[in-house]
Amino acid sequence: MGLSGILSKGVPASLPRFTLFLRIAIVVLSVVVLALAAFALSVFGSYAGYYGGYSGVSGLLIFVVIKTWLIFGILALFEYRLPQYYFRIVAVIAYAFSIVFWLSAWAWSASNAAFWLSNYCYGGYCYDGDSYAKKEGGALAACAGLGAVVWVLSIVNFAFFLRACIADPPVANQAELGQIPAYKQEAPAPVYTAPQHQQVV
């Protein structure tokens, strides 16, 4: 139990069924984040440097989305097609990294959205941002909100997966995978045949 459940192979038998829907929701929301990040990247077009726009936040969001697809896609492949090669510790590490990256992405996106949507003051006068700034800020704000939702769903998925691994003993569900540890087998005791006595007549 405990750490041995995390270090063993195979999909945990006690993994709740609704975690599949959690993962689907994460992937679907990440598609929307990808579209919004691509829009934010295209707002200024070739004048991005002139207007102060750059690909930092949008580029990170696109990277995190693609990384999420790879993580969830590869783990789903091993979970449903190759369970005998499903190393739980690899899944735990991948899910943990995904949580950290989503936190970084949505927090940075929220910070930049606040910059683009804020007023700027010069010479005693304050001005609203132009339409480009509002589009950029709106897209990044939406990315931040959806990214925060994906981050929370990722934490819930990670928590239930970790709990299932810890609660699942290493041998409980692995008989069909050929992973039951070999028990010490003793050789059978030798059988001696009784000597045959000849009867004297």
The whole-angstrom separation of Cα 171 and Cα 187 is 24
Q: Which residue has the tokens 């609203």?
A: 128
| pLDDT tens profile 62-99 | 999 999 999 999 999 998 898 889 899 999 999 999 99
Query: CA–CA distance from 27 to each of 78, 117, 140, 145, 153 (Å)?
Result: 17, 28, 19, 15, 11
The whole-chain average pLDDT of the chain stands at 82
Spatial distance between the Cα atoms of 89 and 68, rounded to a whole number of angstroms = 17
The answer to whether residue 200 scores a pLDDT higher than 70 is no
What's the pLDDT tens digit per position in 104-146?
999 999 999 988 888 776 676 766 667 788 888 899 999 999 9
Q: 52-56, 149-153, 171-175 — which is least confidently predicted?
A: 171-175
Task: Name the pTM for this structure.
Answer: 0.76
Task: State what percent of residues in the chain have pLDDT above 70.
Answer: 74
At 155-169, the pLDDT tens digits run: 999 999 999 988 876
